[in-house]
Structure 1
């Protein structure tokens, strides 16, 4: 499905954003280990649905398609769960995403994992074991999901687990999110000086946990308000003291004239008469998932930016840095990228009628959508948004972004 986008202006609206995929997926692993845990406001994303289905299996082929979080979390879950015998596989792109750091760490604990095709990459043949070792070390500078995967299963092990991290830790807020969720359900743990310690916990109290709505999804509304003249959009359900690293949007988007107000569990985004800077710089090492949105916002506002801390973007659903450079160029944006930085030059106007390719990456589709406030454009393979936000295009229509099927021409 290719969608043409246009807009005559942003409407004030209230949007109910689906539960956080990051929180939902962590809590689903915990629920599988502690079945008396009840979860509400679970994400309706494809990734979360795939994980829910996979957790009902412990034998045979488990295909998680494009779901990178599910691949990492399930590898640890299956490897350290006795009587499991699965082949964990995914899409063509998933088979190109590295797994050796996590697999090596699990093997140090005694895990039986075999690469079925290419060393270091899925598909993985996993035979679950009950580990006897109580500590493991791994490099910490690639993806925090490897670390979170170990943390989530640690308390279910007979002796718990000590995790030693080597090097600079990437995406610390996501590790803190995992630790906070463990604490919330009654599992103790500490994270100090590159060392994570989680003692054993064989049972937890009966409880209900409400998933906060997704801050990564909120980023597209921040971009819309930034690119608007004077719009207001309210989003539910959000906490002022959030576990999600992407809540840094509150501070980041002040540079683009967006004010964030809280009322109960509602987030109100308002455009202010803020005088824009000509150039902005952000270190996004803790919030890489909002890099695409920020780059597109800068393009639409005609300002230059330098974004750093982006090394994990190379191993996402696509190589997001290269994809951003290619698609921004179609709109007139000139970028310089390295392995972990993106610099965008100021662009006085945005090219019209560009066709944006999405590379099987939900965030490419959603990040570029707000530019419909500045120019007509087409989003190719627009259905990819279902990976994290299935109702995205319906919600875009409700705020004034008109969409119609490009193939049918109406």
Structure 2
């Protein structure tokens, strides 16, 4: 499905309800599978969360082993690798899309095998599909490079309380996406698991008994909120949108949006009912934004497009994990922004955009099967008509995104 987005008449004050954080939901779905006394409210309706939930409950049986296909869901691939490694007596083949088979899993597999797991590769070494024979893991010490995807770390931490002797995890080197690791630990604490994090060592105590019944309400997704921040930044003074449900003391690293978008004149008001109102309260005479997104790399696409739409240069760093996402997001950003008239250069871990006020018209954005490419470029419809290819890809994290755009006044046609 290709969509054409026209410059809208933005409703001055709109209200939207965003579903729960994909990051929190996916962690809690796995924990609920390990500890059934957990109940969840406001779960994400994303494809990723649906895939994970289905895999945890009804894998497809083939030749006495279970085939689990996670399609494009990278988080599901990593979390399920750890989950099935401790399911004693079960054999699983974990696979995904052609792109998923290009995304590395070696670091996590090696860490699990060090703990005593039995995981082998079915095709290319270091990549899915993988064969997992569930076992009881009694070893409890492992080291992991800290500058890889935090999902490897979180996958280990989520199964840690079910290990016979818990887990002592040593992180080596500079840490990437630290807030996501802290989120995982906080959610473990919330269900009653004891953890500690000192210097580069994380300890998780074994919690093999049944936990007390717990009901957890999941905060809405800050990554999804980023597109609305971009829209407000590109809008006229006084435009505002209210979003629910968000916390001032969020576990999500992308809550740094609140501070970042002050640079673009966007003010955030935390309301008493756990909603936020974001307002274009001022104009800023910025020439260049420099930001290290090491702890919130999922904001890179949104931030780069916001800067381009405002004619502001930007230098974004800490982006090395974007090379192994749904697509190589750095190269994809460079290609699509260049089509729009931008001057962009990228390295293995950074993006550099020069200031430019003219936006090429009649451009259609390729999305590379990447939900964030589609949503990050959509706000540019405030500046010019823009096409979005494979627009249905947003279902990976935010299925109602196009409907919500229409609610606030965007004009969207199917091509």
Fold agreement, TM-score > 0.5: yes
**SS of the residue aligned with 1:155?**
helix
- Measured in 1, the distance between the counterparts of 2:138 and 2:58 equals 24
Q: Is the 8 A contact 1:9 1:228 kept in 2?
A: no
The aligned counterpart of 1:30 is 31
Q: Is the 8 A contact 2:7 2:410 kept in 1?
A: yes
Q: Is the 8 A contact 2:25 2:218 kept in 1?
A: yes
Residue 373 (1) aligns with residue 382 (2): yes
Contiguous gaps of at least 5 residues in structure 2: 60-64
The aligned counterpart of 1:220 is 227
Q: Is the 8 A contact 2:266 2:282 kept in 1?
A: no
CA deviation after TM superposition for structure 1 residue 338, in Å: 0.1
Which residue among 284, 296, 314 is the counterpart of 1:275? 284
CA deviation after TM superposition for structure 1 residue 134, in Å: 1.2
CA deviation after TM superposition for structure 1 residue 158, in Å: 1.3
- Measured in 2, the distance between the counterparts of 1:389 and 1:115 equals 32
The TM-score normalised by the length of structure 2 is 0.97
**SS of the residue aligned with 1:363?**
helix
- Measured in 1, the distance between the counterparts of 2:316 and 2:169 equals 30
- Measured in 2, the distance between the counterparts of 1:69 and 1:182 equals 17
Residue 100 (1) aligns with residue 106 (2): yes
Which residue among 186, 189, 192 is the counterpart of 1:183? 189
- Measured in 2, the distance between the counterparts of 1:2 and 1:114 equals 40
The aligned counterpart of 1:207 is 214
Residue 256 (1) aligns with residue 257 (2): no
The aligned counterpart of 1:113 is 119
- Measured in 2, the distance between the counterparts of 1:194 and 1:317 equals 29
- Measured in 1, the distance between the counterparts of 2:284 and 2:99 equals 42
After superposing on structure 2, the runs of 4+ consecutive aligned residues of structure 1 that deviate more than 4 Å are: none
The aligned counterpart of 1:312 is 321
CA RMSD of aligned residues (A): 0.8
**SS of the residue aligned with 2:162?**
coil
- Measured in 1, the distance between the counterparts of 2:111 and 2:327 equals 25
Residue 343 (1) aligns with residue 349 (2): no
Which residue among 70, 81, 85 is the counterpart of 2:87? 81
Q: Is the 8 A contact 2:318 2:349 kept in 1?
A: yes
1:303-355 per-residue CA deviation (whole Å, 9 max, x = no partner) reads: 10000000000000000000000000111111010000000001111111101
Q: Is the 8 A contact 2:92 2:132 kept in 1?
A: yes
1:136-171 per-residue CA deviation (whole Å, 9 max, x = no partner) reads: 111111100000000000001111111111111110
The aligned counterpart of 2:361 is 352
CA deviation after TM superposition for structure 1 residue 399, in Å: 1.2
Q: Map residues 283-298 of structure 1 onto 2, 5 A cutoff.
A: 283-298=292-307
CA deviation after TM superposition for structure 1 residue 276, in Å: 2.8
- Measured in 2, the distance between the counterparts of 1:186 and 1:350 equals 52
Q: Is the 8 A contact 1:115 1:122 kept in 2?
A: yes
Q: Is the 8 A contact 1:115 1:124 kept in 2?
A: yes
Residue 244 (1) aligns with residue 252 (2): yes
Residue 165 (1) aligns with residue 171 (2): yes
Contiguous gaps of at least 5 residues in structure 1: none
CA deviation after TM superposition for structure 1 residue 72, in Å: 0.4
- Measured in 2, the distance between the counterparts of 1:9 and 1:297 equals 19
**SS of the residue aligned with 2:376?**
helix
